[in-house]
Amino acid sequence: MYRNIKPHYFSIDAIMAAQEKIQCSFIKNVEHVDFLDMTNAEKDEESDPKIELPLWMIKVFIAGKSIQFDIPKAYNEIYRGVLTADANVVDLFKLCKHFYLFGKFLSQLEHREAYEVRRTLIQTFIDRFKQTMDWAQNIDDNLPCFNRLDCLERSIFNDARVAQQHLNTYLTEGSGQMEIAAMISNYRKRKMHESRVLE
């Protein structure tokens, strides 16, 4: 199936990326929103109250100019430094599940560091791409590596693996071989597993 990597209206990844939380603080008072009501919470006099909201809500408040947000940990100056130094050693999935997509949405908001974030995203992708391809094509047991990839890289990785397998089959067995549909063979394996579990 043709896979669309670009975020679109129906893309689950894009929706999930916009659900990532950002720490922010309000400049103006916002009334009539229950879960933002801080009057009952203990007041900390020294620091201004901070709250974590998902990205799509932040977007709403930015349009009303009533919020200020901090760049999340994965994109701040320290991590940008780490990524620039060597992007290959970072566990992106742990850092942020939708690292590239969330970063892209983030850099579209108005923030003074937006430009740097964007640049880091592109450079990180370029630096890591070679390693991703290398893993996909050459290592058989690649679960430990796979766990460190972000969602976008994972889909590239999976596509690369399938393509490599197709190429291998072609080189060893030639073309024109008819095979059981992948969906059915997976379905059977699942059934077999279920019946074994039942026993």
Place of tokens 């047991």: 141
Report CA-CA distances (Å) from 35 to 31, 144, 189: 10, 40, 46
Three-state secondary structure call for residue 36: helix
Residues 33-53, buried b or exposed e (16+ Cβ, 10 A)? eeeeeeeeeeeeeeeeeeeeb
At residue 146's C-alpha, the angle toward residues 141 and 152, to 5°, is 145
Binding region for another protein (CB under 8 A): 1, 9-12, 15-16, 19, 28, 30-33, 35, 54, 56-57, 59-61, 63-64, 66, 173-188, 190
**DSSP code, position 35:** G
Minimum CB distance to another protein smaller for 144 or for 174: 174
Minimum CB distance to another protein smaller for 37 or for 77: 37
Minimum CB distance to another protein smaller for 57 or for 133: 57
Count of C-beta atoms within a 10 Å radius of residue 63 = 9
Q: Quote the least distance from Cβ 187 to another protein, whole Å.
A: 7
Q: Quote the least distance from Cβ 90 to another protein, whole Å.
A: 23
Minimum CB distance to another protein smaller for 115 or for 170: 170
Q: Quote the least distance from Cβ 196 to another protein, whole Å.
A: 16
Query: Using an 8 Å Cβ cutoff, are 117 and 103 in contact?
Result: yes
Q: Quote the least distance from Cβ 136 to another protein, whole Å.
A: 18
Counts for the chain of helices (H) and strands (E), in that order: 9, 3
Minimum CB distance to another protein smaller for 87 or for 99: 99
Q: Quote the least distance from Cβ 56 to another protein, whole Å.
A: 6
